[in-house]
């Protein structure tokens, strides 16, 4: 590595990082230039996690979401250490150098997984993993209407009228309403209002 024109290992990492940054910036720039721009109120509204942002942002969220996410991240990150261990454990050079190496690495991973399992049992016993599910209860009301009346109503089939036909016969409905209004008993007095002509 005496030739100064050669890149060091860190130089290669720097080149990869620069190429990655350049690709990300070019992708964002192309998306901004080529994307259609047709804003409307729905597109400009705030949208987060599949829910419309309605009401105050000061809402209480169940902390179990965070606890379960942290436990998942803990075990997910700890699994990263299993892959290098498996690579080293499978190395034939180390096993050939000392036969005890395989037993040592196996015991080491047993201790590591044992600590994780103890942590999982601790979190489980505390109840942080068990999700609290609501108990579904059928609402019961004490009303004087027998259940057979509800069953009779629900068992009937009803004819649904077309609303377009109902619009055409609105004059008939008005005539029926005036006829029923005439047959109603009077209130005993009728208020008199001054007309605009007086």
pLDDT in tens, 70-83: 888 888 888 888 88
Instruction: Give me the phi and psi of 121, to 5 degrees please.
Output: -65, -40
Residue 28 has pLDDT above 60, yes or no: yes
Nearest-angstrom CA–CA distance, 136 and 121:
29
Provide the CA 176 distance to its chain's centre, in angstroms.
52
Confidence band, pLDDT 50/70/90 cuts, at residue 20: very high
Q: Give residue-wise pLDDT tens across range 154-196.
A: 898 888 877 777 665 555 555 555 555 555 555 666 667 777 6
Return the structure tokens found at 54.
């309605």
Inter-residue contact 94 to 101 (CB < 8 Å): yes
Mean pLDDT of 114-129: 84
Residue 96 has pLDDT above 70, yes or no: yes
Residue listed under structure tokens 């040592």: 104
Inter-residue contact 66 to 123 (CB < 8 Å): no
Q: Which of 109, 73, 70, 72 is nearest to 90 (CA)?
A: 109
| Burial call 99-119: b when 16+ CB within 10 Å, e when fewer | eebeeebeeeeeeeeeeeeee
Lowest mean pLDDT among 55-64, 82-91, 97-106, 118-127: 55-64
Q: How far apart are the first and last CA of the chain?
A: 112
Residue 3 has pLDDT above 60, yes or no: yes
C-alpha triplet 58, 62, 64: angle, nearest 5°? 145
The CA radius of gyration of the chain, in Å to the nearest whole number, is: 38
Residue 45 has pLDDT above 70, yes or no: yes
Averaged pLDDT of the chain = 77
Residue listed under structure tokens 């016993």: 125
Structure confidence at residue 120 (pLDDT): 84
Structure confidence at residue 27 (pLDDT): 96
Structure confidence at residue 182 (pLDDT): 55
């Amino acid at each position: 590595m005496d030739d100064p024109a050669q890149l060091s290992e860190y130089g290669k990492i720097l080149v990869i990082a620069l190429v990655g940054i350049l690709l990300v910036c070019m992708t964002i720039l192309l998306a901004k230039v080529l994307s259609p721009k047709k804003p409307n109120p729905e597109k400009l509204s705030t949208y987060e996690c599949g829910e419309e942002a309605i009401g105050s942002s000061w809402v209480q969220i169940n902390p179990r979401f965070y606890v379960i996410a942290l436990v998942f991240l803990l075990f997910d990150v700890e699994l990263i250490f299993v892959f290098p261990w498996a690579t080293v454990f499978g190395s034939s050079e180390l096993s050939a150098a000392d036969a005890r190496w395989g037993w040592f690495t196996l015991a080491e991973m047993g201790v590591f997984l044992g600590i994780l399992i103890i942590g999982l049992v601790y979190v489980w016993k505390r109840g942080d993993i068990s999700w609290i599910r609501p108990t579904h209860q059928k609402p019961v009301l004490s009303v004087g209407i027998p259940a057979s009346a509800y069953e009779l109503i629900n068992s009937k089939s009803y004819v649904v009228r077309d609303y377009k036909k109902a619009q055409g016969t609105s004059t008939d409905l008005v005539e029926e309403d005036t006829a029923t209004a005439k047959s109603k008993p009077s209130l005993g007095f009728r208020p008199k209002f001054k007309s605009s002509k007086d």
